[in-house]
A = this chain, B = another copy of it.
Amino acid sequence: MNGAETLLRTLLNNNVEVCFANPGTSEMQFVAALDRHPAMRGVLCLFEGVATGAADGYARMTGRPAATLLHLGPGLANGLANLHNARRARTPVVNIVGDHARSHKQLDSPLESDIDGAAATVSSWIRRPTTAADIGPDTAAAVAAALSAGVPDDGDASRTGTSGAVSTLIVAADLSWGEGAPPAPHLPARPPRIVPRPHVDATAALVAGPEPVALLIDGAGLGERGLRAAARIQKATGTAVFCPTWPARVRRGAGVPAIEPLGYRAEAVAQQLAGVKHLILVGAREPVASFAYPGRPGILTPPGTRVHRFVPDAGFDVVEALTELADRVAPGPLAPLPALDAVRPTMNEPLRTENWAHVVGALLPREAIVVDESITEGMDTLVPATAHSAPHDVLGLTGLAIGQGIPVAAGAAIACPERPVVCLQADGSALYTLSGLWTQAREKLNVTTVLLNNRAYAILRAELERVGGSPAGPAANALLDLGRPDIDFTALATGMGVPATRATSTTELADQFSTALATPGPHLIEAILRPA
């Protein structure tokens, strides 16, 4: 057994069973070991950003980390943007980064670079085994560290959806090819860090009191149990309930108590929180603007609103705390929610921002996993259009690093092969990690991508106005426009091996979406959206 096999077997002992890989020479021993250990599923990704995004999507759905297999510093660099999103999602991810043999590093050969420095920008935990005997324990520690943000390693996704971290294990090639020590056994994640017990009494008094209160919930609180507790509180006390704009994972749809996301724009949040005297954070951070704008505040809590940190953003069980609070102010179960029909789309209309989501919402299959990188096209339309759809989970763009959608969809589909995945993908962002479509085809994943083609970096057009730049002239507009030439996503998907069609009307989208969902394997529908 060589070191790479020690590593692989230790991953398996620690319930890491999928490896999203873009290997190079320094990782060939690990690749070779896959043949001897079919329990580890190696998934080829044709760009490292696909591998890291897929690992994020996989772990958001299972609560367990996948491994990535990355080649040296440039390979890790290509995966950093989606690791940034994973870090913001609190997803457990274990990166295995191959390095040159130690005798070789001093030679400064062409691919040599600062792996540790790149890893430090996204990782909570970084280690390099230094002897064969280290490989097993360090690998087990990497997995435990990825799961150590206060959540048990029991695979209960409702508890663990968004409470991990990125670990990076850097393995020199000579350790991989050298004689390995025995693999390490399962190492439990570290127990939750000790945090003060939530002040349920004080919070219950606030919530039940006379002043307007809002809850801002994130993390595991956005699963069905947390939402039901929040709904009980809301119903009994009139407390408003919000979640972040694009949480890592949130449950939605018919029978699930609705939760209102804070708007992407500061002005929207100001309206939502107007008059709120107490903002109670439940596994969430205080809301801040994505970007600063001249003369506007970055913190979105209105002046005069007091912020209460009821449950810290990691370290205590959000669901338990919410339930305890609900039991205090609203004992008894939640009354059944009224059954409402999903919004019905109007047929035979040209597709535009205002109507595409109605089609998706009406046809969304039960237990769909919705990967939402719709950005401008979905930020005002998706939540109302899917509020009464069949129950589903939504995975959001946590770190705002674009190019997450296609890979996260692949990872989620591998995590949950029995569930349909619907990827709502903006056009400009899709190009960052387009080859994730090929991985969807290779693995025959049931992913239906609705590619929202508005032929622009639409969000940047809005931003250009907001930062107070002069009116955009032709040179500025040229940098925000995805036309000249128009990108043909139907051709791009076909080139990647994913069957694709183009829709320009609500009827076409409905027909193609239904057909795609009914046909095994990945599909892409290019929805051509009319300018507003």
Contact = CB atoms under 8 A, between A and B. Distances in A.
A115 B497 CA distance: 36
A432 interface: yes
Contact of A467 (B25, B34, B47): B25
Interface in A18-56: 21, 23-26, 28-29, 31-32, 34-36, 38, 42, 44, 46-47, 49
Contact of A431 (B46, B74, B398, B482): B46
A338 interface: no
Interface stretch (A102-110, A209-217, A373-381): A102-110
A497 B486 CA distance: 7
B117 A438 contact: no
A121 B488 contact: no
A77 B80 CA distance: 6
Contacts of A21: 479
Interface in A437-495: 438, 441-442, 460, 463-464, 466-470, 472-476, 478-482, 484-492, 494-495
B31 A482 contact: no
Given A28-B460, A291-B109, A478 B44 contact: yes
A205 interface: no
A263 interface: no
Contacts of A467: 25, 28-29, 173, 177
A475 B21 CA distance: 12
Interface stretch (A229-237, A254-262, A292-300, A316-324): A292-300
Contacts of A472: 31-32, 35
Interface residues of A, number: 99
Contacts of A131: none
A259 B334 CA distance: 80
A352 interface: no
B479 A292 contact: no
Contacts of A34: 475-476, 479
A290 interface: yes
A120 interface: yes
Determine which residue in A35, A100, A473 has the highest number of CB atoms from chain B within 10 A of its CB, and name it. A35
B401 A74 contact: yes
A291 B104 contact: yes
A279 to B, nearest CB: 15
Given A35-B473, A80-B74, A292 B173 contact: yes
A124 interface: no
11 contacts: A28-B469, A32-B464, A35-B475, A88-B110, A101-B298, A107-B289, A113-B122, A114-B120, A173-B467, A431-B438, A488-B494
In the complex, the 10 A-B pairs of residues with the closest C-beta atoms, listed nearest first: A485-B497, A32-B469, A35-B473, A491-B495, A101-B292, A74-B401, A492-B495, A77-B80, A104-B292, A34-B475
Interface of A: 21, 23-26, 28-29, 31-32, 34-36, 38, 42, 44, 46-47, 49, 73-75, 77-78, 80-81, 84, 88, 100-101, 103-104, 107-111, 113-114, 117-118, 120-122, 173-174, 177, 285, 288-292, 294, 298-299, 398-401, 403, 428, 431-432, 434-435, 438, 441-442, 460, 463-464, 466-470, 472-476, 478-482, 484-492, 494-497
Given A25-B466, A31-B476, A488-B494, 8 more contacts: A25-B467, A28-B464, A32-B469, A35-B470, A78-B78, A111-B399, A491-B494, A492-B492
